[in-house]
Amino acid sequence: MNPPSLKEIRIKVETLEREISLLRPIFEAIRDPFFLLNRKGDFLKINPKGLELLGYSPEELQQMVFIDVVALDDLSAVRDGFDEMEKGHQISLDLRLVNRLREEIPVECFGILQGETYLITLRDLREKIRLKEEWERSKKQFMEKIRERDQYARELQAMRDIFKEKTKEIEKMKEEAVLLSYTDDLTGIYNHRFFIQQLTLEVERQKRYHAPLSLLMIDIDYFKDYNDHNGHLAGDEALENIALLIQHGVRQSDIVARYGGEEFGAILVNAGREKAMEIAGRVRKIVAEASFPNEKDQPNGDLTVSIGVATVSPSISTLTDLIREADHALYRAKRAGRNRIEG
């Protein structure tokens, strides 16, 4: 084969120069960093984006090989990638390049071998990583806000629960205060104040509905003698026990109160005279049959009660009338010998 003539060589060079001239705008227009490397890894051509990424001049890069700009930790992965390209495979690697300022730049590297030339395209991952980090930071802040909200919600609920509990305690204290204001300190039954309030209500209710209503006035017989012989502590204990005995003798719906001193009252709702006398008899008997310390020393040899009974009627229609009538009946029981019922 004859060697090409000078004319043929000139034509070949002119053709290559035209092809290079046509390809240059396309090469420079590629938006991502793009390198052409020979089989040794030398830089043959770098587009403007590649120069901008690495910060070297074309002349400087032409004195270097590709692995000169690869971070040390990624050299092994790059060598493996070039081996894959030698086998005809296209590669995709995440690695870090080192620019002229010795800054490590994370990139995604795509490469393929075309003839005797490696075509390397890079994608700068800094913005992607920045956005990812920003997203992770925002997500962390968002989750922290959710945790703060949940914590606040829990604390708020705890405060509500405490407030609710305290409200219950206050209501209970109010109820206890009301109960205490209506309760006799010694015997634990209702006091005179509550007795008058409740009897007033029952008398008014009787006027509207005409239901039977009776009242018992109960007095401990010879209680001063019991106190004098046994002391006030024993007297107080006797008062407490007799209050309990009276409550056992009346019905559950009846209202028993300490009227004053050794005197008690019992409001008998829906009880006419006959029922009231029956209840009074039961109370008298329960007290008489109960045992008390040193009761044999009493003037009548026993600790007993006398009871006066009054029932609402046309002639006994007011609160005052009812109490006065019960008191008169009690006085009659006392005069008749005590441990008796009059009404």
HEC-encoded secondary structure of 273-319: HHHHHHHHHHHHHHHHHCCCCCHHHCCCCCCCEEEEEEECECCECCH
Report pLDDT for 74.
94
Name the superfamily (CATH) of residues 31-129: PAS domain (3.30.450.20)
State the pLDDT at residue 121.
Answer: 94
pLDDT at 279 over 90: yes
Q: Is the pLDDT of residue 314 over 50?
A: yes
Q: Supply the DSSP string of 16-55, one letter for each residue.
A: HHHHHHHHHHHHHH-SS-EEEEETT-BEEEE-HHHHHHH-
- d(Cα 241, Cα 233) in Å, to the nearest integer? 12
Is the entire prediction scored with pTM above 0.75? no
Helix axes 223-230, 232-249, angle to 10 degrees: 140
The whole-angstrom separation of Cα 339 and Cα 142 is 85
pLDDT at site 177: 60
Q: What is the pLDDT of residues 97-151, one digit of tens each?
A: 999 999 999 999 999 999 889 999 999 998 888 888 888 887 888 888 888 888 8
Please determine, for residue 22, whether its predicted confidence score (pLDDT) is greater than 80.
Answer: no
pLDDT, position 129: 84
Average pLDDT, the chain: 89
C-beta of residue 33 within 8 angstroms of C-beta of residue 124: yes
Higher pLDDT, 31 or 50: 50
pLDDT at 15: 54
Same fold yes or no, 31-129 and 192-342: no
192-342 maps to which CATH number? Answer: 3.30.70.270
What is the pLDDT at residue 255? Answer: 96
Domain limits, the chain:
31-129, 192-342
What share of the chain in percent tops pLDDT 70?
Answer: 89
pLDDT at 27: 52
Give tens-digit pLDDT for 204-216.
999 999 999 999 9
Residue 71 host element (H or E): none
**What is the rounded distance in angstroms from the CA atom of residue 97 to the CA atom of residue 106?**
7
Using CA atoms, how far apart are residues 29 and 275, in angstroms rounded to an integer? 117
Q: Does residue 176 have a pLDDT over 70?
A: no
DSSP-assigned beta bridge partners for residue 213: 269
pLDDT band at 16 (very low <50, low <70, confident <90, very high): very low
